Amino acid sequence: MITLNDFLYSSFEKKCDVVTLDSHFVIGRKLGDCKVYLYHTGEFFIEVYYSILYKKVLMINAFNDSLSLEPYLEAVSLGDLNL
């Protein structure tokens, strides 16, 4: 398994491989003209910024802090858990 630090310094192609092969899709959100897809590797989160207009990935970001998850909180509901 790749570490967050190694991922951050990896090539774009390697980052795409990690997203495709070693992570799980969590949720997506819209940000302006982009879609942002959140993935989890088991160790850290990965955001893939995709341009709808240009039909390509613009950026891949990775993090492991809870503050960076805040943009996704609106779409998450704990109601289905019957807590």
* Residue 41 CB neighbour total at 10 angstroms: 19
Tell me which residues of the chain have a pLDDT lower than 70.
77-83
Considering only CA atoms, which of 6, 11, 5, 12 is closest in space to residue 57?
12
Question: What pLDDT, on the 0 to 100 scale, is given for residue 29?
Answer: 94
Q: Which pLDDT belongs to residue 73?
A: 84
Direct distance between the N- and C-terminal alpha carbons of the chain, in angstroms, rounded to an integer: 33
* Pair 26, 45: CB distance under 8 Å: yes
Task: Give the per-residue pLDDT at 75.
Answer: 79
Q: Please state, in angstroms and rounded to a whole number, the distance separating the CA atoms of residues 6 and 13.
A: 13
Q: Parse the chain into domains and list their residue ranges.
A: 4-64
Q: Taking the model in full, what pTM does it have?
A: 0.88
